[in-house]
Amino acid sequence: MFFAAVAMVAVAATAQAQEARYEFEKAVITTKTEMMGQPMITTYYIDDYGKKEASEFTMDMSAMGGNKMEMRSVRTEDGTVSFDKSNLKEGRKTEGSVNFLNLTPEVIKKHKIKEKGEETIDGRPCKIYVVNTEQMGMSVSSQVWVWKGFTVKTVVDGGMFTIETKMDTFDENGKIPEGVFDIPADMKIRKQ
């Protein structure tokens, strides 16, 4: 269940690679999530209005008997591929996330999206939505605050857990690392 929560956070803000997803051309954005007492910082790299998008986070699980994980997620035309950067041979693909700039009737119905109003978060006027998804066999309800297409705050209710993520920094001039949007050609990818 913990890894399902990690996967939800990793792809929460990452539909189709060929359409614009954001009202800004490029940015490097960090978000902060408190999960099971462990802070997790995720860095999003966005280019070409979201036609290219990747995210990375590191989580040290050693306090709970696990390992340190350095994960990367790359949005593709048909989903999001996530992998541990220490194991470039294996990855997982999940369904793409909601594009809030292109909310079609099909997407609204599929995810039972309901608009809940508006609120300003850190000076950014946001629309609030409730989104229901199936992630790794679990029903998950999320309330999201969306600004210019990007989710600046998320509260995920998985029934047995609640996770809150909030945008920490937004830099339209941030440096995007070379190769961050690449998926190794020989990687074996399993569908979730």
Residue 128 pLDDT greater than 70, yes or no? yes
Q: Could you identify the residue written with the tokens 């994980």? A: 69
Out of 1-10, 14-23, 75-84, 112-121, which region has the weakest mean confidence (pLDDT)? 1-10
Bridge partners (DSSP) listed for residue 169: 30
Number of domains into which the chain is organized: 1
Start-to-end C-alpha separation, the chain: 14
Domain that holds residue 182: 2-191
> What's the DSSP call for residue 148?
T
Instruction: For residue 112, count CB atoms less than 10 angstroms from its CB and return exposed for 0-12, middle for 13-18, buried for 19 or more.
Output: exposed
Q: Strand locations in 48-161, DSSP E?
A: 52-60, 68-76, 79-84, 90-94, 114-121, 124-135, 138-147, 150-157
CATH number at residue 36: 2.50.20.10
Bridge partners (DSSP) listed for residue 162: 157
Average pLDDT for residues 58-83, to the nearest whole number? 81
Out of 8-22, 76-90, 101-115, 144-158, which region has the weakest mean confidence (pLDDT)? 8-22
Residue 75 pLDDT greater than 80, yes or no? yes
Asked whether 167 and 153 are in contact (CB, 8 A), the reply is yes
pLDDT digits (tens, 9 = 90+) for 131-166: 987 766 777 889 999 999 999 999 987 777 788 999
- Which helix (H) or strand (E) covers residue 164, if one does? strand 162-171
Q: How many CB atoms lie within 10 A of CB 89?
A: 10
Out of 8-17, 58-67, 82-91, 124-133, which region has the weakest mean confidence (pLDDT)? 8-17
Average pLDDT, the chain: 85
Can you tell me whether residue 105 is helix, strand or coil?
A: helix
Can you tell me whether residue 39 is helix, strand or coil?
A: strand
Both tokens of 116, joined, read: 């809940």
Q: What is the pLDDT of residue 93?
A: 92
Residue 10 pLDDT greater than 50, yes or no? no
Q: What is the pTM of this model?
A: 0.83
91 vs 63, higher pLDDT: 91
Distance CA 165, CA 70 (A): 18
172 vs 86, higher pLDDT: 172
pLDDT band at 9 (very low <50, low <70, confident <90, very high): very low
Q: What is the pLDDT of residue 96?
A: 77
